[in-house]
Structure 1
Amino acid sequence: MSRRYALLDVFTNKPLEGNQLAIVQDCNGLSDEEMQALAREFNLSETVFLLPPENPAHSAKLRIFTPFQELPFAGHPTVGAAVFLSLERFGNDAPEQDSVVVLEETLGTVRCGVVLKQGAAGFAEFDVPSLPRPSAPMGTTESIALCLGIEPTEIGFENHHPTTMTAGNHFAFVPVRDLSVLKMVSPDPSHWEAAFGNLDHNAVYIYCRETETATASFQARMFSNDEQIWEDAATGSAAAAFGGVVHAFDEPLDGTHHFTIEQGFQMGRPSVIDLELDIEGKQIRAQRIGGQAVLIARGELFC
């Protein structure tokens, strides 16, 4: 049986930038093992498998796999799938069109607003289904610095210090002094466990306030030690958890706050992630992640 697939670049408005995503359609009948094998075949940070929704009022059910494991939730697959399903519904050449896409993910139901404009990249913004909260402990500043290949004195800025958060996936968050330090980071897997523990989803998000563009709030890099070290060009689930970091250290006042995060610049895959926080009574009441996505290829699988 053949199955259709598409490739998108997510969190960018330009082809061959942002974070790559494979979307496999017509996935009824695929086993978990077959989905995992196809994700390894694509060998991208994530592959999405589209299934009919359990609730007929929803748009689709999503299964999200890295080359090594299934994820309960991920940001760039959510943005990419929402834009793709809207393109499937309205067409590539549709005039300006707003729509709502409701996705069933393992973590929960995710509601996405999508905007399509003729001749432009699609934009999707979704309500984060799980608000950020503190996660598992991490190592000392010295062990973190040793793993990342930087000095302990280069970790931290203002009142920001290393911490962990989850909004579905666990991340260690490490602030560094400036962009020059961020560019120097080179993780050593032999020191990973001492620095960041030994968890199923074990990733570190390194960030600073200095940015490449005047409109951005932070620049970040994300590395994972899931069987091998790899760097991700744009990580929406990390940005969702990062909302808890911003809330903890920057203490935004009540109201809606917008932050733009740069990622992937050191990989030659510049990406831009929008993070929006609603603060009420000094607490996060809601979060949204947004970004653009570009369809770059369609094809057919014969397995």
Structure 2
Amino acid sequence: MTLTYETVDVFTDTAFGGNPLAVVFGGERLSTQAMQTIAREFNFPETTFVLPPTDPVNTAKVRIFTPGVELPFAGHPNVGTATVLARRGSVFGKPVGDTVVFEEAIGLVGLKIVRDGGEAVGAVLTAPALPTVEGIFDPSAVAAAVGLSDSAIILARHAPAHVAIGATFVIAEVADLDALAAARSDEGLIAKHLGKAAPDEIYLYTRLDAGEGTLHIRARMFAPSLGIPEDPATGGAAVAIAGLFVKLMDGDLDLTIEQGVEMGRPSRLDVCILRDGTPARITVAGRCVPMMRGELAA
């Protein structure tokens, strides 16, 4: 069986920045294990497989794999896959317009295509649901799990929070850029200090600037148990932290997230919390750069 693929760098407008994604076509007859093996071969943070939708009103069924596991939902694979389909112009015999709807394990996921001069350059993801804030973690345990001192964790606004949106996250604010840079991804430390309660992903951030209805942060994300020591841009975590801020703040919020700087793959995620209805809505927007295309034997 010969499959085709395209790769894009997501949440960036510069080649070799952002978060790489492989998008695979023609895998309708692949087993789950075969998909996992292909994702491991690419060894990108995520690989998606574009399959015919169960309901023809939707654009496609999309399955998402890290090198280690399948995910029910993630942000950068959706933004990247939507952009790839829009650039191709059609999928499964149907034109791709300005919106797409993907069938995923979490449910239906909708995105709006961003165009520049008629060409697809990115997408805006609407979160399929509000994340749930399920509790807090011991700050000392979280600090130790990423190799930081207790004083590096800031508690003035919130304790390290356990947030779920498909994957599970601990979200912790750290003191400054030096503390953020000093954190490290170590699966052994995470297991030692967080044990069976360890979430899928650890998301650390520090504030860079704040204004009326705006916030600018820099973040890092570690998920060694998923086969991702560090992720350069994490759309699912952007949804998760926005869900936390829905609980902590009033009003709309424009949130700018820098990520991947410490890895040499700078990324930008533009997040909005919109309270124009009940419940609030969360969107995550980003640009994509096409990188490679080819064939693989499976």
> How many percent of aligned residue pairs carry the same amino acid?
37
The residue type equivalent to 2:286 in the other structure is G
SS in 1 for 2:280: strand
Distance 1:179 1:284 in 2: 33
Q: Check the 8 A contact 1:260/1:274 in 2, yes or no.
A: yes
Please state if 1:15 is matched with 2:15. Answer: yes
Q: Check the 8 A contact 1:72/1:105 in 2, yes or no.
A: yes
Distance change (3 Å), C-alpha of 1:69 and 1:237: same
Matches within 5 A, 1:274-289: 274-279=270-275, 284-289=279-284
The one-character-per-residue Cα deviations of 1:22-55 (angstroms, maximum 9, x if unpaired) are 0100111011010011011101110000101111
Kindly state the Cα deviation for residue 153 of structure 1 after the two structures are TM-superposed.
Answer: 1.2
Name the structure 1 match of 2:39.
Answer: 39
Q: What's the RMSD between the two structures over aligned residues? A: 2.3
Please state if 1:209 is matched with 2:207. Answer: yes
Distance change (3 Å), C-alpha of 1:201 and 1:20: farther
The residue type equivalent to 2:240 in the other structure is A
The one-character-per-residue Cα deviations of 1:134-162 (angstroms, maximum 9, x if unpaired) are 13653x22222222221111111532321
Name the structure 1 match of 2:134.
Answer: 135
Q: Check the 8 A contact 2:69/2:226 in 1, yes or no.
A: no
Please state if 1:272 is matched with 2:271. Answer: no
Distance change (3 Å), C-alpha of 1:287 and 1:31: same
Kindly state the Cα deviation for residue 174 of structure 1 after the two structures are TM-superposed.
Answer: 1.1
List gaps (5 residues or longer) in structure 2. 91-95
Please state if 1:290 is matched with 2:298. Answer: no
The TM-score, its normalising length taken from structure 2, stands at 0.90
Distance 1:265 1:29 in 2: 39
Name the structure 2 match of 1:49.
Answer: 49
Kindly state the Cα deviation for residue 271 of structure 1 after the two structures are TM-superposed.
Answer: 0.5
The residue type equivalent to 1:159 in the other structure is R
The one-character-per-residue Cα deviations of 1:81-107 (angstroms, maximum 9, x if unpaired) are 0100000107xxxxxx97111111110
SS in 2 for 1:77: helix
The residue type equivalent to 2:83 in the other structure is V
Q: Check the 8 A contact 2:135/2:161 in 1, yes or no.
A: no
Please state if 1:263 is matched with 2:259. Answer: yes
List gaps (5 residues or longer) in structure 1. 91-96
Count how many residue pairs are aligned between Structure 1 and Structure 2: 289
Distance 1:200 1:149 in 2: 15
Return 190-199 or 101-110, whichever deviates more. 190-199
